[in-house]
């Protein structure tokens, strides 16, 4: 299975969602995109919460990736409920997810 091979890490699986998920949370055709982050502190946070996190990428649609924490705060301050500064990822950290 793909998840066994690539999780945790940069793989997003798009799956048909079960009936427990609200419709406004689903994509086209009742799908849900899922991934397990490769960053250990983020997996620890999710585990401590005891439930999944719903989030989008920290970028503007059609624009390049933003990896500088200060730039993310400048752009998204007042537009997001929470901004977590996880510091800059290591240079060899995969930036994009495969779907």
Q: What is the pLDDT of residues 48-59, one digit of tens each?
A: 999 988 877 777
Flag whether pLDDT at 98 surpasses 70: no
Q: What CA–CA distance (Å, rounded) separates 99 from 42?
A: 20
Which two structure tokens, joined as six digits, stand for 40? 């250990």
pLDDT band at residue 30 under the 50/70/90 scheme: very high
Is pTM beyond 0.85? Reply is: no
* Residue 50: per-residue pLDDT: 94
Are the C-beta atoms of 29 and 15 separated by less than 8 Å? no
Helix (H) or strand (E) holding 15: strand 13-16
């Amino acid at each position: 299975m793909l998840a066994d091979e690539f999780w945790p890490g940069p793989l997003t699986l798009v799956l048909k969602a079960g009936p427990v998920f609200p419709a406004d949370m689903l994509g086209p055709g009742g799908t849900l995109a899922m991934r397990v982050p490769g960053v250990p502190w983020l997996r620890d946070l999710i585990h401590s919460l005891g439930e999944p996190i719903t989030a989008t990428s920290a970028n503007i649609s059609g624009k390049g990736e933003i990896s500088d924490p200060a730039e993310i705060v400048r752009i998204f301050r007042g537009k997001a409920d929470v901004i977590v500064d996880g510091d800059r990822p290591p240079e060899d950290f995969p930036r994009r997810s495969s779907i």
